[in-house]
Structure 1
Amino acid sequence: MTFRPRRSVLYMPGSNARALEKAKTLEADALILDLEDAVAPDAKEIAREQVCRAVQDGGYGDRELVIRINGLDTPWGKADLKAAAAAGPHAILVPKVSFADDIYQIGDFLDMNGAAAETRIWAMMETPMGILNAAAIAASVGFPAGRRFAAMVLGTNDLAKETRARIVRGRLPMITWLSQTVQAARAHGLDVIDGVFNDFEDMAAFREECAQGRDLGMDGKTLIHPKQIAVANEVFSPTATEVEWAEKIIAAFALPENAGKGVITVEGRMVELLHAEMAQRTVAMVRGLTATPAAA
């Protein structure tokens, strides 16, 4: 089992050359080099040039590089997508995905414009229609034009804006949307990344929201400030106790006397094969974190 960590996914403004350079030293698992919300209209073209050059020049170590383009219905979207396809990031993040056809359109464009086979598609889930269609959007990964699809990213600020829901501690108004997206992603083998936490000075509340996201099944959290990275990495990593228990389960199922069994007992607790699969993922995650450190 292979694993790519996406515990901490930091947005970086594409128009800020110093920020793009500083990102090379940050401990984030992934970087979203943003051409959309973080960039003013008169800086869109320079941001596109800087971001694509940064991806091509490299120097980001094992960090996953993702370019967030502007929507294809904007004056910049198609040029963003074409430039990103040529730059060869690990993934392209598509804003405001509302229908499965949005994934197919991007996939076809990437194929026709010679994008590297390894370049994946991430989808921003930030519209009411997108949440309603989450299952169909996730299912697009099973079709040729959607084979690049790899992750769904919650856009909680946009969802609040579009639905008029309040952003409150505990996110009660959003729980259904978050869980629905997780369920859709997991049904089709996709990763799912939680939305941002806006008050980057309130680290206690941020930690609480990270823990909630992990409890809901998220793989990690999108971030707006470097000071949030360490907490996200900690919360979305297995604890020492979880790793120890996972190793015990794997070792127990590997014993000759347990060969072919679907249920065994480990330290007085009933353990099934599904627990062994969960244990294998936990151990694979730890190995992945050790093998691919974020630091350059």
Structure 2
Amino acid sequence: MSNQVVHKSNNNPNLSVKHIGKGSDKSISKYFAYIFLIVLCAIFVIPVIYGITTSFRSQTEVVSTGFRLFPEKWIFDNYVTILTNTSTAPILRWLMNSIFIATMHTILVVIVISVTGYGYSRMNFKGRDTLFFVLLGISFFPGVVNLIPSYKIIDALGWVNTSWAMIIPGLAGMGNIFLVRQFMKGLPKELDESARIDGASDYRIYISVIVPLIKPILIVCALFSFTGSWNDFLWPVIVYTDVEKMPVTAGLLLLQDIYGNYRMIGQLMGSAVLAIIPTLVLFLFAQKYFVQSINLNSGIKG
């Protein structure tokens, strides 16, 4: 058998060369892909690391030294100053405000988009698809177009300087509804028919059949909604003027006047680090659901 293989190789000398060439090309492509990903990762990660380490530098080191990824001396004075300043920059109060706003907004978003997605995917009514795609098209308009009308509505309702100004707007985001609708359309209609034969209503089908199967996409939409609400900057700056009621993003803008202009860069970076911790922790716990949701049919397991 081995002689046969050698004989064939001798009669076909280009065969082994061809296979070696293909293997080499794949290895080279893989190396270039790794190098590209490493460079891309460095572009995103190095500024974050530098920002975190800057929060542990003294103001003298920040001003006197050039770019240095790690500080010469690690100090915690910046965080002590941040956490003890409860008058002009109550960072802990802002964090609590943001956690409450983002959590309430996320809970309501999950309820609204799951019910709406069920209506657009499982129920039949006249003009269903037309209405959906019209609203989806409107959602592509820049959000800044709606700032003035939205503020007028919030002001008329008396919600300026209240959490409702951040919680209610954006509950029915068409992007999230689209994801939920597409996920539900991947679920077989036989599930609904079987439940109806057993006498289940639309409400019972939604609660007992559909919701358990769409948990991955709901968790991902909840993650998007929480981070979107947490990171929203322009809208809270417009609707909040009371320092005590501000979320952390509006508070960080205020900190630029207090800690900025190269006066207290360490405190400013420390405040930014505290602001990213909740979303980072949330992503670490929810990342497996994000991977599951990439497959729109992941809710079905045979």
Same fold (TM over 0.5): no
TM-score range, shorter chain: under 0.3
Task: Pick the structure with greater CA Rg.
Answer: 2
Structure 1 or 2: more strand by fraction:
1
Q: Which has the higher contact order (CA 8 A, sep 6+)?
A: 2
TM-score, normalising length from structure 2? 0.21
Structure 1 or 2: more helix by fraction:
2
